[in-house]
Structure 1
Amino acid sequence: MKVKSYKAGSVGEVELDVAPFGEKILYRTLKDAVVMHMANQRQGTVNTRGRSEVKGTNKKPYKQKHTGRARAGDIKSPIWRGGGTVFGPKPRDYSYHMPVKARRVALRSAIAGKIADGELVVADLGDWSEPSSKSARKVLADLGSPRRACVVITDRNENLYKSFRNFPLVSVRTAAELCTFDVVNGGIIIAEQGAMDALAARVGAKKAKAAESDS
């Protein structure tokens, strides 16, 4: 299948084997993977003080009877101003994990969706001997200055990362660390050919092995 390509400042088309990414998009699995990622980012450090944790005396504020007021045990009661919080949030861990196979299927569906929507660009980014925001800006400008972009590279490249990190809503990921959330939330995907090959091996490995065993 032909997809967008970018090389030396010119935008064209290049043949890409999309078989490893399939054609079916599993939206429910996509949503589950995105929700899992967002839950795992929660710090869970919020804390409220209960009745036993609020500073104050345990002395009865006034006598029980013959005051015309409702009886009160202490000033730390939740119904009093400055009192404790009832059933308030406490520090907790929100993280959980989907099965590895489900995460692989979700990433495969996300990439297939980007290919179907024409939001995948196979790019030859060249060598980055030093950080250059000017060069990064030119790459984005040649591709239409997308509002969001996710640059997927084959191997970690500190110079390339430093070149793109100053642009808002532009992220840089290696093929090994790319997740479903990065693809879905990344806008246009700018990927190196080596990164696409690595992703094909990563998300399509099980299917390829099954095909070989059937043959």
Structure 2
Amino acid sequence: MELEVKTLEGAAAGSITVSDEIFGLEPRTDLIHRVVRWQLAKRQAGTHKALQRSEISGTTKKFVRQKGTGGARHGNKKAPQFRGGGKAHGPVVRSHAHDLPKKIRALGLRHALSAKVKSEGLIIVDEAKATEAKTKALSARLDKLGFSNALVIDGSEIDGNFRLAARNIPAFDVLPIEGINVFDILRREKLILTKAAVSALEERFK
């Protein structure tokens, strides 16, 4: 598959041949959905906690006589039905993570990249660099190209000035190739890959 290469100024910078096995698949939403669920479940903190009745501080002395009150026969103020009592079946600290085969995760990433190509949301640039770490200057360049909501994936090392200039731009993320993931690809309208990122992806899926 042949894709055009542009500069961050919008000028043409030739073309690049990419693998159909990475960028030319027919997107499968079920695979992409599985990977996104796995990602979101894995990053949940799982620190929610409610006190059970065994963890409440209080006496277990019988506080009302057994018969003659016309009410239920209670013997513990820590029971869930009382104010200040323990929570019945409340949340406990746990991990929400679940297993997903490595092959499915890799396949989900390839389908997410192919989905961006199919929706015309993928842009290849020659490089992502800035001469100075100025957010205003970079934002003006991006506005000319219509990149108001985008994810930039560069090679293993990101240009320092570009990273600093981009970090205060809303809805604009910059990641190295090691950090590429399905959820971040889908949450942004445009995916911008540098030529270094494309080479690294093809090497990774070889």
- Report the TM-score, using the length of structure 2 for normalisation: 0.89
Q: Find the residue that maps to 1:167 and give its secondary structure.
A: coil
Equivalent residue number for residue 7 of structure 1: 7
- CA shift in 2, pair 1:161/1:48, >3 Å: same
Equivalent residue number for residue 210 of structure 1: none
Match of 1:89 among 83, 88, 91: 91
Offset of residue 103 of structure 1: 1.1
Please list, as runs of the form range in 1=range in 2, the aligned pairs for 1:59-208 lying within 5 A after superposition. 59-125=61-127, 127-128=129-130, 130-146=132-148, 148-157=149-158, 158-203=160-205, 205=206
Which structure 1 residue ranges, 5 or more long, are not aligned?
206-215
1:85-127 per-position Cα deviation (integer Å, ceiling 9, x unaligned): 1111100011233222111111111111101111111113454
Residue range with higher mean Cα deviation, 173-182 or 132-141:
132-141
Name the amino acid aligned to 2:74.
Answer: A
Name the amino acid aligned to 2:31.
Answer: T
Q: Find the residue that maps to 1:75 and give its secondary structure.
A: coil
Q: Find the residue that maps to 2:53 and give its secondary structure.
A: coil
- CA shift in 2, pair 1:185/1:14, >3 Å: farther
Match of 1:31 among 30, 33, 40: 33
Within 2, Cα distance between the matches of 1:151 and 1:126?
8
- CA shift in 2, pair 1:185/1:6, >3 Å: same
Identity %: 29
- Report the TM-score, using the length of structure 1 for normalisation: 0.85
Which structure 2 residue ranges, 5 or more long, are not aligned?
none
Q: Which ranges of 4 or more aligned residues in structure 1 deviate by more than 6 Å?
A: none
Match of 2:50 among 40, 48, 51: 48
- CA shift in 2, pair 1:49/1:126, >3 Å: closer
Q: CA RMSD for the aligned pairs?
A: 2.0
Q: Report the number of matched residues.
A: 203
- CA shift in 2, pair 1:97/1:143, >3 Å: farther
Q: Find the residue that maps to 2:6 and give its secondary structure.
A: strand
Q: Find the residue that maps to 2:17 and give its secondary structure.
A: coil
